[in-house]
Amino acid sequence: MNRYGRQAMRHWQEFDPTRYAAIEDPEAFFTDLGEEVMAQIEILARGLEGTDQPGETYLDKVGRLQMARFTAESEVLRELVLIPSPEDEDEVEEPVDGAMGEWYRMRRQLRQEEQDEVDAETTKDHSIEE
């Protein structure tokens, strides 16, 4: 498991232990997630690097490449690793695609189903009382 997988595992254990507990094989899951994070960072960083500039010094180029990497890493970590706690979820703007987008849609559907069950029980209890 790479450092991104370990970081995700620690973060998920702390911020959403219920979600973490639902993972059947955490070692495999976070190994795969870490690999996906690393691949996404590489792809995004390459897109952000840009081209060599006329007159660009070695240190300027190193700085540009490091900034591209840093930006890519922070964006991918926010999307795939640094999940919000369940209490903060409603305040987060949902991504529309990717793994996190799918997770948010599934999580919203499960919450709706749970709420529907509560509503059905409440309605059933009220009709029995009448």
- pTM exceeds 0.85: no
Over range 102-107, report the average pLDDT: 59
pLDDT at position 112 is 75
Phi-psi region of 39 (alpha: psi -120 to 50; beta: other; left: phi over 0): alpha
pLDDT at position 110 is 66
State the first-to-last Cα distance of the chain, in angstroms, to the nearest integer. 59
| pLDDT for 93 beyond 60 | no
Query: Taking all residues of the chain, what is their mean pLDDT, rounded to a whole number?
Result: 82
pLDDT tens-place string over residues 38-89: 999 999 999 999 899 999 999 999 999 999 999 999 999 998 898 877 766 5
> Is the dihedral angle over the CA atoms 62, 40, 83, 95 positive or is it negative?
positive
pLDDT at position 123 is 72
Helix (H, G, I), strand (E, B), or coil: what is residue 52? coil
